[in-house]
Amino acid sequence: MTTPMLEIRNLHVRIEEREILKGVNLSIPKGEVHAIMGRNGSGKSTLSHVLAGKEDYEVTEGQVLLDGADILGMEPSERAVAGLFLAFQYPIEIPGVATMTFLKAALNAQRKGRGEAEISTPDFMRAVKEAGKALNVDSEMLKRALNVGFSGGEKKRAEILQMALLKPRMCILDETDSGLDIDALKLVSEGVNALRSPERAMLVITHYQRLLEHIVPDVVHVFSDGRVVESGGKELALELEQKGYAGFDGEKAA
Ligand SMILES: Nc1ncnc2c1ncn2[C@@H]1O[C@H](COP(=O)(O)OP(=O)(O)OP(=O)(O)O)[C@@H](O)[C@H]1O
Ligand SMILES: [Mg+2]
């Protein structure tokens, strides 16, 4: 048995005295793409934030292993160095920092953390131009402050551009499809699919079966009230779209 890229065991998380995650179990082998679907407020973004190491969450029980290493004690930057990446549902605006500058700093911080040399400016420019072209992010946008005044779709494309440059081993996408027009959805999906590799795993959180036609998942998990209540193949997403979540919530209660 090879070590999974991500293994979540019985994860319980509270925020402000309220338990949001109630025993999440999830294992994603290297090379696989898993999807999570679930009602609004079921805890999907909470899970993604806890994985990325965002503060304010209290882990009361459980373990998270990234390629066998326990990450819950690590700082967010250490998790990034270890290869974890989260594309936020609501990307954060950073006034005063040009997108290009931010991307280079993020890339170099990770290289430094791994004991690698900084990327040269020409190499960086080449990489960012190439990735930007594929995602329809032009040099004008790269000069603007990160996410400030970006449209919803532009923010999502900027997140995927960051992912394409960082080439993380574990990619988590939290509703990256929401707010994207049809052409942007295709570009973003192609960007994500280009990163599929036997050495990488992905977790795609979405409400829509439509995204999963572009990024075809190996496994679909249904999330309800803070845990995974059902897992299956990609046909599970179709079933959800037809039936809604009611049947799955009932099973959880049993
Ligand atoms: N800072 C906070 N303080 C209090 N409650 C919070 C906080 N953050 C999240 N919650 C609550 O935790 C629950 C889960 O929220 P979360 O954002 O994880 O849901 P979600 O599954 O991502 O929903 P959506 O599909 O709408 O994005 C919600 O009831 C939310 O109100
Ligand atoms: Mg969410």
- Read out DSSP for 132-154? HHHHT--HHHHHSEETTT--HHH
- Cβ count near 114 (within 10 Å): 10
Residue 251: predicted pLDDT: 52
Amino acid making up residue 167: K
Pocket test for ligand 1, best of 18, 46, 54 (most atoms within 8 A of CB): 46
Q: Residue 67, CB half-sphere, CA atoms under 13 Å: how many?
A: 15
CATH number for the domain formed by residue range(s) 6-91+168-253: 3.40.50.300
Alpha helices in 116-244 (DSSP H): 121-135, 139-143, 152-166, 182-194, 209-214, 235-243
Find how far residue 111's CA is from the centre of its chain: 20
> What digits encode the pLDDT tens for the residues 85-101?
999 989 999 999 999 99
Q: Which ligand 1 atom is the nearest neighbour of the CA of 47?
A: 18
Closest ligand to Cα 40? 1
pLDDT at 46: 97
Kindly list the domain boundaries of the chain, sorted by start residue: 6-91+168-253
pLDDT tens, 192-230?
A: 999 999 999 999 999 989 999 999 999 999 999 999 999
Given a cut of 60, whether residue 253 has pLDDT beyond it is no
Note the pLDDT of residue 252.
46
Structure confidence at residue 254 (pLDDT) = 40
Any ligand 1 atom below 6 A from CB of 145? no
pLDDT one-digit tens code per residue, 66-91: 999 999 999 999 999 999 999 998 99
Residue 20, ligand 1, Cβ within 6 A: yes
Strands (E), 40-128: 58-66, 69-70, 84-87, 94-98
- Mean pLDDT, the chain, as a whole number? 94
Between CA 207 and CA 47 the distance in angstroms is: 15
